[in-house]
Every structure is written in structure tokens, then in C-alpha cells.
Chain A
Amino acid sequence: MRLDETLSDEARRMLAICIVCDYCSGFCEMFRAAGRRPQLLDGDITYLAHLCHDCGNCLEACQYAPPHVFEIDPPKNLADVRSQLWPKIWSWLTLLFVPLAPLMTFLLVPSDILFARHLGPGAFYVVLPWSVLSIGAGIALMSSLAALGFGIFRFWRSSGGGNPRGAIMTALADSLTLRNLEGGGIACDHGGMRRWAHHGLVTGFGFCFGSTAVATVYHHSIGLQAPYPMTSLPVVLGSIGGSLMMFGCGGLWWSRLRRDRRRQAQTAGGYMLLALLMLVSVSGFALLIWRETMMMGMLLAIHFGAVLSLFLFISTGKLAHGAYRAAALLRAAMERRHG
């Protein structure tokens, strides 16, 4: 990925002032890492951009924040650099699967099948064959993961390469606890809410992933086909996961809205991802509730479309931030180890 020149020049100008000032060194790893990389090459800038957790403490504390003539706004500037990785147009195109899957289902599946009640094992697959579901989701997930892996590989190389062994546990802890959202001692802009909401969202996502994994085992190993009973492991895990995700999406949306209003910022990518995650959870619950009615077919198609989009969002949308942030934290932990 090549950085847009205007963006990287602006980031370089800003970070030079941040490095010389250094007042924010206590807030987070981004400022300390910037001090370790005074050359500010393009690879350095991308790395620093992904280290920023967008807490906003530095902006609040900045003697040079707009309207000062130096116009120092690290959260916005670094978010602009990051969002180059998930251009809005790609996010919008990916989101097309959300209406496309139900539309295709409506057009291709005969309506006496689509709008009939289906009960018992294999009920879902009468409407959308297991092969369509698994191949569609599989292709989306695998291609997205491959693209993300390639991107992470390039990111790692451009930010200095090297073997991160020995720093992995630290980086894992930094990623999971979101330590850099603590603000270094001054509570940051809705930092508490954002942290808990994010934890909820990630944990919920994990539960849903676990639900899918268990269901896959059921399907292939013991020949148990979906839909599963309400008290079965896949349904319980999925319900807990979906609830946590809904709580997380709500919290993050709320804090993002308040923050954007205050900073007069536009962060479309974040809202798109939150909306998509919300749609996945809500459509999942709707499918669970109405799976024994004639609505099941269309609800399944809606849920399937949302999941397809979400898988693609791993590389084309803001969902990629998780991998890049983790890689940046790994890089920072490595630098701290080796000085």
C-alpha cells in the first residue's frame, strides 16, 4: 500500500512537531514510538497511525490543537492515514452483499419453498443448500483472510521486518486489554465506555465464532444438522455472543457519535462496521425467533448476506483495523524489548 502523498506529508509535518514537543509521551505508545522513529518514513507513519487507539487525550491536551496555526490533531490525522487501507468505496461495495443475498434468494428460490414452513434437521438447507452457504461463506472468508494476510505482511516489512518472538505475549496483553485506551492516567474521552463496549463486541464475536465451530463439528462428525434446539451448545453460544455484540455495537456507536459531534469529525468506516455487526447479531436473533415460521427463508438469506459482507470486511473494511492494530502493538512491544 502506498500512502497518499498529501496525507503522508501532513502526517510527517504533524508528527515532527509531536516528536519535538513530546508532552504526550505519558499518554500512549504512539508518542513514545514516534520518538523512536524521528525519520518518519512512510512505513513509520503507517505504523504510528495503527498504534493510535483514537482516545483523544492528546488532542484535549494539545497546546497546538486547531485553531492554533500549527493545527495539530493526531487522532484525526492518523485516522485519515488508517482509513486509506479501507477506502470508503470498497466498504460500500462490500455492503452490497447485504441486499444482494436476499434479493438473489427471492429471485432464484421458488416462492412455494422460500415462504413455506420448514421444521426439523436440515430445515435451513431446503431453502439455501448447505453447499451454497458453506462455499459462499468459505470463499468470502478465505479470500478476505488471504488479502489481509498479504496486507499485514507488507505492513510488517515496511515498518522494519524482523522476528517478533519474545514480544508476542506482551502484544497480546496490550491488544486484549486495550491498555493504550487508559490514557496514561487521565481518563480519556469516553475511554471507559469504549473499552467495555469493545471488549463486549470482541468477546461476543468470539462466542459466535465458537458457536459456528461447534456447529461445524456437529454437522461433520456426528451428523447433527442445523437448526439446533434452543438449549443446544451452538444456540446458547450464539445467543450469548449476539447479545454481547449488540451491547458492544450500541456502546461504540454512542461514544463515536458523541465524540464526532465534539470533534466535528466524519468517520463513516466505523459506523459502517458497527451497523454491519449489529445487523449480523439482530438478523441472527430474528432467525432464531422466527425459524419455525414462513419468514425463515428470507431471514436466513438476510443473515447470510450480512455474514458474507462481514467476512469481506475483514480485508476491505474497518474490520481490518484489529489485525493492523495488533501488528503495530507487536512491533511496539518488540521495540521496547530491544530498546
Chain B
Amino acid sequence: MRPPPSKAEVLVVGGGMAGLCAAISAQKAGATVRILEASPRHMRGGNLRHARNIRIPHDGISSYSPGIYPVEEFARELTEVSRGDGDAALIDMLASRAADLGEWLADQGVVFQTKHIPFSRRTAFFLGGGKAATNALYARIEALGIAVSYETPWDIDTLCELPSAAVVLCCGGDQADARQRFINRGTPFNVGAPMEGLIRAGAAVAGVSGAVHLVAVDARSPRHDGGIVTRIDGMQFGMMVDAQGRRFADETAIVGSRRYSIWGQTIAALPVPSATLVLDAGGMAAMPRLAFEPIRAANLGEMAALIEVDFAALSCSARQSGRVRKAPFFAYPVVSGLTFSCHGLRVDTRARVKMGDGSVSKNLFAAGAIMAPAVLHIGYLSGTALTISAVFGRIAGEEAARHALG
């Protein structure tokens, strides 16, 4: 591993949404800044690269989202999804500081999409998605003269020889840890090493080790980095069978925006955590377009052989569901895919890392997925991970610069 370059007052570890916002804020506050990004240039941006929209409250008319979405409503939702286990002070800070986020991001060059998108009062869409936003923020970083070192992961063992006056950890959770048994939809660089090192060194823990947010994805997805298109949808048009060919849930009862994650958890809880979505000709016609082509079979016997389940069990399931009757038959292999992990560090409202003994670090800050469980615990609220990253990234950058400049 290359040694971290040392000529900056604020060192930002990780070049995703949190790191980029932290770097911009710290530099604007007068500090010299360097970003260490673990990925090569084409994969920079962490999970921002895979994002589509960001949750932003707005008390009045906003140019990015229709209607109004008051700060109080956002705070209430955060408290609800974290089931009271989220840090109330962080929730308040997040909700109130998120209000000017749209304007701030637009000032940094991020472009929002206002046409040809679903109605969304709560979120603003990046034109072209998260990689376009990533490119815009990196262009801003470059224009500000902030140095970026690519392919430079950072190890916690070098913490004792701190190269800068202040360090901001924005290197994500541990969703890409090799011990995770699920397909990782996000960046392969969130391996969680700095976080774990800090926890070993006595940092306070947020969330629950091993807790993850799952959705149903195609089993043929890449091990990492498959993003949004790997999701499987349309279960209600066919039947879901387990590794034995037996149904394990009422497909038509799981609907609404939470259907992806309910299926993700249900499949993960199976004795063999994989399943197959089987459809007949009629069901297939009703299916939304998916990224991968379905497996095709002329009859159920052939299908049973192709998806390696017992024929008797499969035909029994087909009769029972009542939706799988007319040849030809189609199938999608389904497993659980990981969106993010719910294990991280605790911080105070100035984004300073909290220690297990109740003390607070003076020169170590954290923002983004690495501290998101301190806000959400193990809850999920769509588009909020980016809001946490941007808001606490900005706070961490300002505070780190203030510390570094004395």
C-alpha cells in the first residue's frame, strides 16, 4: 500500500458523496485538503455512483421537487424508521441542515432532473443519475484545486501516525466485506476496514453488526457493483419457489414500495437462501422488463430440470398458486442482494467520532454510510443515505477545517 500523502491539513478518506462534500466544505473554510479514494478513477464516487435521487426537505416551493416536504415531517419519518434507536440530536441536525442541500449541490455543479420523472415530493433526482452527480462534484473538486489520490485505500493501522491535522472518514460501511454472504449491489470498495479498526481501538458502535438492508436480485448478478438493474420485480405475476420447488410466501400480498426489501429478507431467511420466480406465458406478458433474459422451458418438467427442483413439488406449487398454467414457462433465479450495511460509528452533531468511554475525538470526524446507523439504526428511508452523506459531509468538512486551522 502506498503511504498516504501528507501535505494537506485535512485528509478526507473516501471520495463518495460524504467525502466530496467534506472536501469542498473544508477547502472553502480555508484548509488545504486531500482526498484518498480507494477505487480507480472510473469507479470513484462510492455508492453515489449507483444513486438516482436524494431526499431533501423543502418548506416552500423548490425547483427540484414538487409540493412541500417540511423539515419536521422529514425528522418525524427519521424517528419512525429508526424506531427510537436513532440519535435524536443527529436526526434534528440532519433534518434542519438538509433544507438548503438542493441549492448547495446545484452550486457545486450538480444538475437535477425536473422532467420525465415520477412525482416525488420528498426526493430530487440527479439528471443522468448518481454518476453524473459524481462527475460534477469531482469537476468541482478539480476546479478548487483539491488533490485526489485514486487507488489509495487507507488502513487504520496508520492512524497512530496521523499525516494531517484532521481526518474525515467517509469510506462507507462494510457491505463489500468478504464475510458478507450476499451479492453486493454497491461499490466493492466499502470493505469496512477503517471502521472495524476504529471499533477495535475503542470507538462507540452504532447499528448492529451483521445487520443489512436486502432486496431481491437476479442470482446471475455480478458479485459486486450490479446496482439498480439487478432487482427482481413482478413476483405477483407468477410464483416464488424455494430450492425444493415449494412456495414460501403469498406472492400477491407483497406489494408497494417495500416489496423489494420484503422479498430480500424473506429469501435470506430460507434454509437455502435462494429462490426462483416461475411464470407462465400469461404471467410473462404482464412482467415488467428486467435486465436479464428469463430462463425458458416448453413445459414444467423441463423447467424443473433447468432450475434443479423436484418436478412433483414444482407442479404441485403451480397448481396451488393458480397462476402458472399455460406453456411456455419462464423463470428468473432470485437471491438476496445487499444495498447497505447497518453497522458503523457514533458521532456527535459536529461529526466528531465518539468513543465507547463517552469521550469525543478532537481530530477524527466521520460522515456518510460509516455513521449513518447512528441516525437510522437499522432502519431504511429511501434517498436518505445520500442526505446523511451530504449533510454530515459538509459538517465534518467545516469542523475538520476549523480544528486544523486552530
Contacts and interface: CB of A to CB of B under 8 A. Distances in A.
Interface of A: 13, 16-17, 19-21, 23-27, 32, 38, 57-58, 60-65, 67-70, 184-186
A339 B227 CA distance: 30
Interface stretch (B30-38, B108-116, B201-209, B377-385): B108-116
A77 to B, nearest CB: 15
Contacts of A38: 288-289
A16 B227 contact: no
B136 to A, nearest CB: 8
B130 interface: yes
A128 B20 CA distance: 69
Given A23-B52, A26-B113, A61 B229 contact: no
Contact of B291 (A17, A65, A67): A17
A20 B293 CA distance: 12
Contacts of B136: 186
B127 A27 contact: yes
B131 interface: yes
Contacts of A23: 52, 126, 128-130, 228
B290 A20 contact: yes
B135 A61 contact: yes
Interface residues of B, number: 32
A65 B225 CA distance: 12
Contacts of B289: 16, 19-20, 38
24 contacts: A19-B289, A20-B228, A21-B228, A23-B52, A23-B128, A24-B128, A25-B116, A26-B125, A26-B128, A27-B127, A38-B288, A57-B132, A61-B129, A61-B135, A63-B228, A64-B227, A64-B229, A67-B42, A68-B225, A69-B225, A70-B222, A70-B226, A184-B127, A185-B113
B247 interface: no
Nearest to B45: A63
A58 B135 CA distance: 12
Nearest to A15: B289
A236 B231 CA distance: 62
Contacts of A65: 42
A53 B165 CA distance: 50
Contacts of A70: 222, 226, 229
B131 A62 contact: yes
B352 interface: no
Given A25-B117, A69-B222, A63 B291 contact: no
A185 B290 contact: no
A185 B128 CA distance: 10
Contacts of B394: none
A37 to B, nearest CB: 10
Interface in B218-235: 222, 225-229, 231
Interface string B19-56: 00000000000000000000000100000011010000
Interface string B229-246: 101000000000000000
A186 B222 CA distance: 30
A26 B116 contact: yes
Contacts of B42: 65, 67
The interface residues of chain A, by DSSP majority, are classed as helix
B290 A26 contact: no
A24 B132 CA distance: 10
A27 B128 contact: yes
A48 to B, nearest CB: 14
A184 B113 contact: yes
A64 B227 CA distance: 9
Given A19-B289, A20-B228, A32-B116, A185 B111 contact: yes
B354 to A, nearest CB: 34
Contacts of B128: 23-24, 26-27, 57-58, 60-61, 184, 186
Nearest to B225: A68
Contacts of B290: 16, 20
A20 B49 contact: no
A185 B116 contact: no
Contact of B229 (A21, A57, A185): A21
Interface string B289-311: 11111000000000000000000
B373 to A, nearest CB: 25
Closest A-B pairs by Cβ, 7 of them:
A23-B129, A61-B128, A61-B132, A26-B113, A38-B289, A20-B229, A26-B127
Contacts of A20: 228-229, 231, 289-291
Given A24-B129, A185-B113, A186-B128, A17 B135 contact: no
B229 to A, nearest CB: 4
Contacts of B52: 23
A61 B131 contact: yes
